[in-house]
Amino acid sequence: GENVEQHPSTLSVQEGDSAVIKCTYSDSASNYFPWYKQELGKRPQLIIDIRSNVGEKKDQRIAVTLNKTAKHFSLHITETQPEDSAVYFCAASLGYSGGGADGLTFGKGTHLIIQP
């Protein structure tokens, strides 16, 4: 089955600086890669996702890059703000191209701390 590794487990950055979280996956058939943000005591919320036919995707201060050859993808947050403090999870799945629904395999999470 799929295995997703996520690094670092904790990341502390100064407010206004950039943050990068990296993930690797093992199954070359995976083609859907979402990122979720989870604030303390709340449910995970999708913040951005990317498919294998795209190398990069941006949404305001957030971007995700995907390298299918190397089987890794990264989350980039620029101009970090206090409200970016949360736990971030990467995930991978076959997506619908697998012929039906597929569950997500998650990384273990990164606790992002924005220092004022």
**Which residues contact another protein by CB under 8 A?**
1, 6, 9, 32, 34, 36, 42-46, 49, 89, 91, 93, 95-96, 100-109
The distance of closest approach from Cβ of residue 79 to another protein in the complex, given in angstroms and rounded to an integer, is 26
Q: Which of 34, 83, 77 is nearest to 59 (CA)?
A: 77
Specify the residue, 65 or 78, whose C-beta has the smaller distance to another protein. 65
CA 64, CA 42: separation in Å to the nearest integer?
23
The distance of closest approach from Cβ of residue 11 to another protein in the complex, given in angstroms and rounded to an integer, is 15
Phi, psi for 90 (deg, rounded to 5) = -95, 160
CA 19, CA 66: separation in Å to the nearest integer?
16
Specify the residue, 25 or 32, whose C-beta has the smaller distance to another protein. 32
